[in-house]
Amino acid sequence: MTYPVNLSLSEAARRIAAGRLTAEALVSACLEKIQALEPEIRAWAHVDAKAALLRARQCDQQSARGGVHGIPFGAKDNIDSFDMPTEHGSIVYEGHRPAADASCVALARERGAILLGKTTTSEFAHVTPGATANPRDPARIPGISSSGSAAAVAAYMVPVAIGTQTGGSIIRPASYCGVIGYKATYGDFSLSGVKENTGSLDTLGFFVRDISDVAVFRAAMLGTQPTTCAEVSLADLRIGFCRTPFWDQAEDSLRSQLETAVSHLSSGKARVRDITLGEDAVQFVEALRSISAFEFSRALAHERIHHGNRLSAALRSGRMHDGLNCSYEKYVEACGIAEKFRGDLDCMSADCDVLVTPACTGEAPVGPPAKESPVFNTIWTGSHRPAVSLPVFAGPSGLPMGLQVVGHRHQDEKLIECAAAILRALG
């Protein structure tokens, strides 16, 4: 018999619905895994074992209400929960108890999912990391800022965990930890109850270990009925290979494996063409830096004004400083550059179902502290497109590296179908 924590979300839900697994047994197995590994991995800011087991027993006495009934999940600690602390990775909010769940947590719970706890985040989902280690190699970083969510899923502590992305905070940790990371189209998931970082870029998503789980948990977070994704033939795919202007920043091993993978997809009858981004993409990324700095410094105005001495030096001297020194006129100009690029990119890639590109620059660096780069994520986050990281590559040290598949805005289901076809083809 497969140990419960090894089951995918979808398989565990099917077994619970069929009476072949109890929610209590699944939650108990997850708690045992957390107890065994948490001293080293430190993926959790808070776990409420007693409440989770109580809720699991209640689920076992009820009829299944959806595809996530009885499924335990984690939520990044910048996402509100009424019955657990939400501390945003900062001493400023130590012990903070929100009055209500964030919409994504409330909707998942409404479908019978069980919030196991809050996963570690960097300070206000910015650059100062939490204590989480990479389960693949604890000497390495798991990736900020959704570090605890990625690590918890990679370590089989939970089958799914919610994260947020403003730059590369879902796709990059997924790549480093060797799991599937999904970032939705900007605006698809409600951000009510999620601590703002950069309002025009912040996007919700989550981590799973099986591509079939993406559509299931996406439906729960949207509050819609689950749909069955079609099985797309590789021969029906139109793929754009986008190296981006930052291709030389990827490690040699990643560049080589990605080009081999694209060649394999092409030989499998997928229609592949290059998508070349020029200087306008570099200007777009620069514009996003101004937008992010301006909005971030204002989103955290209360914390800066009333708790400035309790914020990390990296937060105060970096993006917050830049934002406070960014004029409104420069911000408006940057917004115009960003909006134009989004439209141009839509036209340039209109004949492609998806784009493929690196999910990161390479293997997870040794740390902390370690320098992380969102260079292969920022364009797609800023263009408001959905993306999936698939764990199909391995670096020189045998650690995972992700292939990023990028879809069109509000075509997330199509993205999931295409990503599944690519994953089948690459293994």
Q: Would you name the residues annotated as active-site residues?
A: 76, 145, 169
CA distance 134 to 27: 23
C-alpha closest to that of 377 among 252, 292, 274: 292
Cβ–Cβ < 8 Å for 81, 105: yes
Q: Is 397 helix (H, G, I), strand (E, B) or coil?
A: coil
In eight-state DSSP terms, residue 90 is S
Q: In the block, which residue shows the tokens 């990296």?
A: 314
Q: Is 394 helix (H, G, I), strand (E, B) or coil?
A: strand
Residue 160 region by backbone torsions, left for phi larger than 0, else alpha for psi between -120 and 50, else beta: beta
Residue 329: φ, ψ to 5° = -65, -40
Q: Containing H/E element for 114?
A: strand 114-119
Structure tokens at 347: 């036209």
Cβ–Cβ < 8 Å for 121, 77: yes
In eight-state DSSP terms, residue 228 is P
CB atoms within 10 A of CB 58: 14
Burial 83-119 (b: 16+ CB within 10 A, else e): ebbbbbbbebbeeeebeebbbbbbbbbebbbbbbbbb
Q: In the block, which residue shows the tokens 């590369």?
A: 168
CA distance 289 to 387: 20
CA distance 212 to 160: 12
